[in-house]
Amino acid sequence: MDLNELKNAYAEIITSTMYIRLPEIRKLVPKYPTIGIKSSYSNLKKDTIINIKAVIESIANEGNKSSQNLRNIMTQIARIFIIATWDIIVNLKTYPNLKDKKLIQFTRHIRNGVAHDNKFKFDSRVLNKACNTLKLPAKWKDKKIELKHENTIVVPDFIKDGDVYSLICDLQKFVDENKNEKK
């Protein structure tokens, strides 16, 4: 998977997450009662592991009272996609030439934060102790990661759900523009 495919998957999942909360969409589900997610394990009592109809009925029962549940879902989706984005970046042939760039460092720290309890944590290897700063700048648009962010929440406090989509788009553009970058 490349960044463009990942960006499209993120957009589809976020859209789907929002749409299944609309009563008009939920009304369509009874027409498709057998839709679900299956497992490769045949010893399960039920072939379907995640029954889509049951999930949507649960959402309908929660109604508008579940804004915290929706917030948690959106945060988890963002975290997963940020980690997947980083996996793509570090496996690029050009990564060794790009790894010290501000945007890549920004993505690195965002990824580390979401992967570790969704909070910024800075390892001593990335610190310039003499100046009490990060060794390499980590910046994207108007967002700059600094030591003051230690132990603060990444998603949704530092970056929002839509920022994840924009970040993936900007990373794709950056990678395309720097595919011939030499150190």
Q: What pLDDT does residue 159 have?
A: 98
What burial class does residue 110 get, using C-beta atoms within 10 Å of its C-beta: 0-12 exposed, 13-18 middle, 19+ buried? Answer: buried
Q: What is the pLDDT of residues 129-153, one digit of tens each?
A: 889 899 999 999 999 999 999 999 9
Q: What is the pLDDT of residues 106-118, one digit of tens each?
A: 999 999 999 999 9
Q: What is the pLDDT of residues 54-102, one digit of tens each?
A: 777 788 787 656 677 889 999 999 999 999 999 999 999 999 999 999 9
Q: What is the pLDDT of residues 28-55, one digit of tens each?
A: 766 666 667 777 765 555 666 777 777 7
Q: What pLDDT does residue 48 have?
A: 61
